[in-house]
């Protein structure tokens, strides 16, 4: 399909919403990559593809390749309308050639996009215009009068095309992956060492009054290394380890004695809840028991 028929003026039905969305969410670099990779502009004529590629390359050379196309249009008012016109040409769905009288009548109805009601008196006598107006009405396409090739009406309010804010989940999901390789070996060794330090005295007939020091530290290290915990997990685990190692924290300690340690314990649990890897492990454990 050619970009546009040779005779002008023309009436074009095109997807303006798609073109504006490209300005909002694509960069010159991503659009050029899509153009060269055949993911955009396959309906453009070779000359128009080459022209769009050259315009985008010029923006890359001016350090505008990484900004959104909307911002590049603001910076470069000379190339901007050409780029937008070629983008619109690539998303054009139908063309219709106008006679001089028809074009003169549409010019009197103002610049910019035309409403399908503006074509009401023309479509009665012209089947091609009737088909174009019907397509535009069914698919929500914009209709523009082109006085020159790719002379589509440029966006009048670029501020309305600001990129949509990225919605970041406070607790993004992550899938737990069991440790492997060296990480698994280190985690198993630390866990076995911690259990041995805890069990060997008990097998000898003595129960340590304060066993949470080195045994708990090694087991905690094994867990954190095994799941590749982030810094909130490390800090949260340290807080809980500190609470377990306070002098008042013993097996015969009453509840009133450990109440002052609850804020530090709450901080530790909150930090563990923030760590994505810890939450992924907890979700994996719940699934195992839920089977």
DSSP H stretches of helix in the chain: 16-25, 28-36, 46-61, 69-75, 80-90, 100-107, 120-123, 127-139, 181-203, 214-227, 231-244, 255-258, 262-274, 276-290
Both tokens of residue 252?
């015969």
The pLDDT of residue 100 is: 83
Domain range for 285 is: 181-290
Q: Quote the CA–CA distance of 136 and 150 in Å, as a whole number.
A: 18
Last residue of a domain, one of 161, 192, 212: 161
CB half-sphere exposure, 82, CA atoms < 13 A: 15
278: confidence class by pLDDT, cuts 50, 70, 90: confident
Q: State whether 123 and 239 are in the same domain.
A: no
Last residue of a domain, one of 131, 161, 191: 161
254: confidence class by pLDDT, cuts 50, 70, 90: low
Averaged over 84-99, what is the pLDDT? 90
Q: Is the pLDDT of residue 1 over 70?
A: no
Residue 169 placed within a domain? no
* Total number of domains in the chain: 2
Q: Is the CB of residue 14 less than 8 Å from the CB of residue 104? A: no
**Top-confidence range, 50-54, 148-152, 226-230, 243-247:** 50-54
Q: Is the pLDDT of residue 273 over 80?
A: yes
Share of the chain above pLDDT 70, in %: 84
The pLDDT of residue 162 is: 73
268: confidence class by pLDDT, cuts 50, 70, 90: confident
Q: State whether 27 and 141 are in the same domain.
A: yes
Q: State whether 64 and 150 are in the same domain.
A: yes
């Amino acid at each position: 399909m050619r970009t546009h028929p040779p005779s002008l003026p023309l009436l074009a039905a095109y997807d303006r919403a798609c073109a504006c969305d490209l300005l909002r969410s694509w960069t010159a670099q991503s659009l050029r990559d899509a153009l060269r990779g055949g993911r955009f502009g396959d309906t453009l004529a070779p000359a128009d593809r080459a022209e769009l590629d050259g315009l985008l390359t010029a923006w890359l050379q001016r350090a505008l390749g990484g900004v959104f196309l909307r911002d590049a249009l603001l910076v470069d008012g000379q190339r901007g309308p050409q780029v937008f016109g070629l983008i619109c040409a690539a998303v054009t769905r139908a063309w219709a050639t106008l006679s001089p009288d028809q074009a003169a009548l549409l010019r009197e109805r103002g610049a910019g996009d035309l409403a399908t009601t503006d074509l009401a008196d023309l479509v009665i006598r012209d089947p091609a215009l009737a088909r174009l107006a019907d397509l535009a009405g069914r698919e929500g396409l914009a209709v523009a009068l082109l006085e020159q090739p790719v002379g589509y009406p440029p966006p009048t309010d670029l501020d309305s095309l600001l990129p949509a804010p990225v919605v970041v989940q406070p607790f993004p999901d992550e899938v737990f992956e069991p440790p492997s390789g060296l990480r698994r070996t280190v985690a198993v060794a630390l866990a076995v060492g911690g259990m041995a330090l805890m069990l060997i005295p008990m097998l000898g007939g003595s129960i340590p009054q304060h066993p949470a020091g080195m045994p708990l530290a090694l087991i905690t290290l094994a867990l954190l290394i095994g799941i590749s915990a982030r810094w909130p997990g490390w800090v949260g685990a340290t807080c809980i380890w500190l609470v377990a190692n306070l002098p008042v924290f013993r097996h015969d300690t009453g509840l009133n004695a450990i109440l002052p340690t609850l804020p530090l314990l709450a901080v530790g649990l909150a930090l563990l809840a923030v760590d994505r890897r810890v939450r992924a492990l907890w979700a994996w454990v719940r699934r195992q028991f839920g089977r």
